[in-house]
Chains A and B, each alone.
Chain A
Amino acid sequence: MYEIDARDVHYRELNAKIRKAIKEHNRDIVLHNVCGQYYIGCGLNDKNIKITINGVPGNDLGAFMNGPTIVVNDDVQDGIGNTMNGGKIVVYGNAGDVVAYSMRGGKIFIEKDVSYRACIHMKAYKEMNPTVVIGGCSGAFMGEYMAGGTLILLGLTKKEGKPLTGVYLATGMHGGKIFVRGGVDEKLLWKEAVVVSPTKEELGKIENEVKEFCNLFKIDYNEVMNEEFVKVVPKSTRPYGHLYFPGP
């Protein structure tokens, strides 16, 4: 284990220290007193690297990352997993806006709530298929312009009488799958998306991911799976195809 004290260290210097530690063959890196430093784990490639963060990391955590695992023992800010290619981010807390922005591969697990625009423009290609599991509730525009990948929303922090997503759910979505535990309020849903039941195969995928989620955050798996999951998918792959030119 290689420890770095990040107190009052500028993000460039901190990221340089992390890269240096990796160059010196450290694979288990622990950062203490992190407070707002941007781009931690950005562009790192080695899947054997684990970075543990104590404190609140700054925006674009794990951006362009391709392999490592990042564990955050606190809240995270905006843009985690931005254009991430592979690896895993685990957050023991809440996340800010644009979680998994344009994410292309790997996994993100968030214990509690996320703010606006989670999984905006998330995408998939051949064997690249990102998965995001959110334990709490979500702000508006979840899955906006989503093009691929899997988003699972558990709503475990849902309060009585409050919705578990915000408005404009799946606006502009044209690929991928959103699974919501406990159903979706159709008033919040974009008109070009539909709610259906997951297939048996998809339920298998949900079970696997929820199992991993419950192991990470010490949550009772059976209780989570006790509720029904619904699937949100786009009606077509080109929802805006006829926006300007009325077609057939």
Chain B
Amino acid sequence: MELAKDISGCGIAGFINTDGERISGVDIVDSITLMKDRGNGLGAGFAAYGIYPDFKEFYALHVMYDNEHARKVTEDYLERKVHIEQHGGMSTRPIKKKRPIFFVYFVQPREQSTKGESEEFRLEESDEFIFKLVMFINENIDGAFVISSGKNMGVFKGVGFPDEIANFFRVDEYKAYCWTAHNRFPTNTPGWWGGAHPFSLLGWSVVHNGEISSYGANKRYLEMYGYKCTQKTDTEVVTYLLDLLVRKHNLPLHTLAKVFSPPLWSEIEHMSKEDRELYSALRVVYGGAMLNGPFSIIVGFRGGMFGLNDRIKLRPLVVARKGSNVYMASEESAIRYVADDLDEVYMPKAGEPVITMLTDEAYEKVYGSKERTYV
């Protein structure tokens, strides 16, 4: 027996080209794989933005099935609910372990057949429509999970080391302007395919190193708004909180970061009157959305990416910039391995979000519209 034991934490990495230039997944795989020892083979995954330019008007549902029966039930449901422009099995390479099957569906909401259904699934609110669809499948159909549901993006994740999962999903063959990646070392929750990061809903995706100790409080808070936590992992609540606070409550990203990582009361005391009122109000109104516990997260969204630490920075995060490329990772080496001669490298302060966005021209090029939305 080998007398060795590695104690570690998860690793995260992210990349964005703010000019919208799409690059293959090779670099992000190299970057996260350099931090292989931060994980233990029980979960890895990638989120990619801009990978489906030919279907950019459609919601791309990446669905994971435990068996054919789950697929049949889900497809029956999808046919009733949405227009399916195209679908098919996701192209994969062989992997030496028991694994679920993966399908992708490019869909749009469509007219419902009964009055009751039309009232619940409203055509004019297409994001809300897809949100309800995803919640229904994840909660009610045994063995079926929608792992991503945004437009022109997708999530690839499973149980394994990052290079293994990347090879399985052929991540090297996709091209994206923004990539995030995760390497998992599960602590409190099981290592299963759905529990791997990123966690995604509509345009949001989250990779996370740390532990959301407030999971229970956040989960109860989200349930009041129709969000069902079904993935058995704390990070799931971060994704849903993003959706609730930004898509539904229209909070700016910077304010959202101050809900997730609020300043301590002792810090609020020393602020100007205006700030004191704002931050007190945020803590009171959004107490249930505050994330307690150590974390560093990288959030991918339609048109950008942001990184954030908990308010006393109990997990690492390094940010670097080179021209229009922005890199984030748990370790500087993971960035330096794929990019040298960086213009800037730094570790952001606790609770200070690092927000990067596509330029206006790039956004229009990628999404075919000038009007920005986050999902």
| A residues apposed to B, CB below 8 Å | 11, 35-36, 38, 55-59, 75, 77-78, 94, 96-97, 115-116, 139-141, 166-168, 187
Contacts and interface: CB of A to CB of B under 8 A. Distances in A.
A166 B267 CA distance: 13
Contacts of B336: 35, 55-56
B332 interface: yes
Given A36-B35, A77-B316, 16 more contacts: A35-B333, A35-B336, A36-B331, A36-B333, A38-B37, A55-B336, A75-B332, A77-B332, A77-B333, A97-B316, A115-B347, A116-B313, A116-B347, A140-B350, A167-B267, A168-B312
Contacts of B316: 77-78, 96-97
A177 to B, nearest CB: 24
Contacts of B334: 36
Interface string B306-319: 00000011001010
Interface string B124-135: 000000000000
Contact of B347 (A55, A96, A141): A96
B270 interface: yes
Given A11-B37, A38-B37, A139 B333 contact: no
A168 B313 CA distance: 12
User: Helix, strand, loop or mixed for chain A's interface?
Assistant: loop
B341 to A, nearest CB: 13
A58 B333 contact: yes
A71 to B, nearest CB: 18
Given A56-B336, A59-B331, A140-B312, A166 B349 contact: yes
A11 B34 CA distance: 11
Given A36-B34, A36-B35, A56 B333 contact: yes
A11 B350 CA distance: 29
A36 B349 contact: no
Contacts of A36: 34-35, 331, 333-334, 337
A11 B334 CA distance: 14
B332 A56 contact: yes
Contacts of B34: 35-36
B330 to A, nearest CB: 9
A55 B312 CA distance: 29
Contacts of A96: 316, 318, 332, 347
B313 A77 contact: no
Interface in B295-341: 312-313, 316, 318, 331-334, 336-337
A56 B318 CA distance: 13
B101 interface: no
A116 B296 CA distance: 14
Given A35-B336, A97-B313, A77 B331 contact: yes
Chain A to chain B: the 4 pairs with minimum beta-carbon distance, closest first: A36-B333, A115-B347, A56-B333, A35-B333
A235 to B, nearest CB: 19
B162 to A, nearest CB: 14
B267 to A, nearest CB: 7
Contacts of A77: 316, 331-333
Contacts of A75: 332, 345
Nearest to A114: B347
A160 to B, nearest CB: 18
A140 B349 contact: yes
B181 to A, nearest CB: 15
Given A36-B333, A77-B331, A139 B345 contact: no
Contacts of A116: 313, 347, 350
Contact of A139 (B267, B270, B347): B347
Nearest to A97: B316
A78 B34 CA distance: 16
Most buried by A among B267, B270, B332: B332
24 contacts: A11-B37, A35-B333, A35-B336, A36-B331, A36-B337, A38-B37, A55-B333, A55-B336, A56-B333, A56-B336, A58-B331, A58-B333, A75-B332, A75-B345, A77-B333, A78-B331, A96-B316, A96-B318, A96-B332, A97-B347, A115-B313, A116-B350, A140-B349, A141-B312
Given A36-B34, A75-B345, A187 B312 contact: no
Contacts of A139: 313, 347, 349
A229 B347 CA distance: 27
Contacts of B337: 35-36
A96 B337 CA distance: 17
Contacts of B350: 116, 140
A139 to B, nearest CB: 7
Nearest to A94: B345
Contacts of B35: 36
Nearest to A166: B349
